[in-house]
Amino acid sequence: MTADTITAKPAAAGGTRFSLGRQWDTWGVTGILLILLACTPFIAPGFLAVDNAQSVLRESAYVGIVALGMTFAIASGAFDLSVGGQLALTSVVSLMAFGAGGTGAAIAAAVATGIACGLVNAALITGLRVPPFVATLGTLFVFRGVAYLLTQDGPKILPYDQIGSPFARMGSLNVVGLPLPFVIMVAVFGAGWVLLRRTATGRRTLAYGSSPSAARFCGISDTRTRVFVFGLVGLTVGIAALTYITRVWTADGSAQDGFELKVIAAVVLGGTSLKGGKATLIGTFSAVFLVSVLNEVLVSRGVESAYQRIVLGCVLIVALTIDGLRTRFAAPGSFRRSLTRLVPTR
């Protein structure tokens, strides 16, 4: 193979030639979501009623916001299993701060706690060189444990006389018919897209995910990438916690058990590769809603919650199977693909 064929192929795959596979990577889940939505009037009448649609958007927002951060983490080649613990701890701290200092304190506390949790993870991973999977598995126990400690004498509850306050209504507020949490989620995804596709930091994250050692040789810092990614996850958890507590008004150590798996499932379903180096924000966005719409449809069809789990699990396997088979059938091109993956643009 000569030098110019090597350079020519990444250019061809860089966007000039139409490739069904690549389009599927980015838009597949969105397509399925749209088809599902188009079918809902027939299979679940009343689903698209304004109240119901609003509640789906509101309920999905906090999963979606954290899924944005998790997309960055997975694209950089790492999981963050501690987001459930982070969410519980952040919610508890934020409610405590609200009791002490009002709205501003609550918001500041949520964001600060979230970022602090992320930095703890980053410190363990870069400082003590613990693999992310185990470090965040450990901090999942730790963060949740601390949240339990703080709520030993009962869950933190928003004071009753504050239920009418702007902070308490934030989670249920609508902006031009759209729930505020959903608007926040859209804004977070917008910012995330700019960060990923239009800044050097975003490209470094993807490059690091493709090949940490290659990235290192290009002068990309391990520590800075880790701190950025896990700090970002913490930040999104902080924002998500705000939309969560302003809707449910209470939190304790057991808040949102199993949250991490929900978030990771959405990111993976969306098409972000677990191998790192590849991210699709629109995929994550749609996957969050695909799961919640599917759930809602099953509920409205009167399917028992036990069977809902079975259906959701099967959806996950089918989606990942399509992905797995596609990669397998594309095997002859896999060498080319491995070359093009070195170029962090799509």
Partner 1 sequence: MIKAVRRVPLLVPLILVMVILAVSTDTFLSTGNLENVLVAAAILAIPGVAMTFCLAMGEFDLSVGSTVSLAGVVCCTALIDGHPLPVAFVMALGAGAVIGLVNGLVITKLGVTPFIATLATLVIVRGASLAYTGGHDQIVNSAGLKYLVGGRPLGVPMPIVLAVVAAGLAWWTLNRTRFGRWVCAIGSNRDAAAMSGLPVDRIRIAVYVLVGLAGGVWGLLISSQLQKGNGQLGLGFELDAITVVVLGGTALLGGRASVIGTVLGAVMIETIRNGLNLLNTPPAYQRISVGLLLIAALALLALRRDDRGTQPNRTLAKVQETPA
> By C-beta, is 30 or 139 nearer to partner 1?
139
The contact mask relative to partner 1 for 228-257 (x = CB under 8 A, - = no) is -------------------------x----
What are the angstrom distances between the C-alpha of 177 and each of 5, 54, 59, 169, 262? 53, 8, 15, 15, 27
Of the residues 139, 272, 292, 295, which one makes contact with partner 1 according to CB under 8 A: 139
Of 132-140, 178-186, 242-250, 283-291, which segment contacts partner 1 by CB under 8 A?
132-140
Of 57-65, 195-203, 231-239, 324-332, which segment contacts partner 1 by CB under 8 A?
324-332
d(CA 81, CA 137): 6
What part of residues 78-117 is at the interface with partner 1 (CB under 8 A)?
78
Question: Is residue 219 near partner 1 by the rule CB under 8 A?
Answer: no
Question: Is residue 49 near partner 1 by the rule CB under 8 A?
Answer: no
> By C-beta, is 56 or 146 nearer to partner 1?
146
* Shortest separation between residue 216's beta carbon and partner 1, angstroms: 6
Of the residues 239, 268, 279, 290, which one makes contact with partner 1 according to CB under 8 A: 268
The contact mask relative to partner 1 for 272-311 (x = CB under 8 A, - = no) is --xxx---------------------------xxxxxxx-
What are the angstrom distances between the C-alpha of 324 and each of 90, 227, 251, 312, 317? 36, 31, 39, 18, 10
Of the residues 128, 164, 177, 332, which one makes contact with partner 1 according to CB under 8 A: 128
Of 10-18, 168-176, 191-199, 325-333, which segment contacts partner 1 by CB under 8 A?
325-333
> By C-beta, is 108 or 137 nearer to partner 1?
137
Question: Is residue 132 near partner 1 by the rule CB under 8 A?
Answer: yes
Of the residues 16, 152, 154, 176, which one makes contact with partner 1 according to CB under 8 A: 152
Q: Which residues bind partner 1 (CB under 8 A)?
A: 77-78, 124-125, 128-135, 137-142, 144-146, 148-149, 152, 211-213, 216, 253, 261, 264-265, 268, 274-276, 304-310, 312-314, 316-317, 320-321, 323-325, 327-328
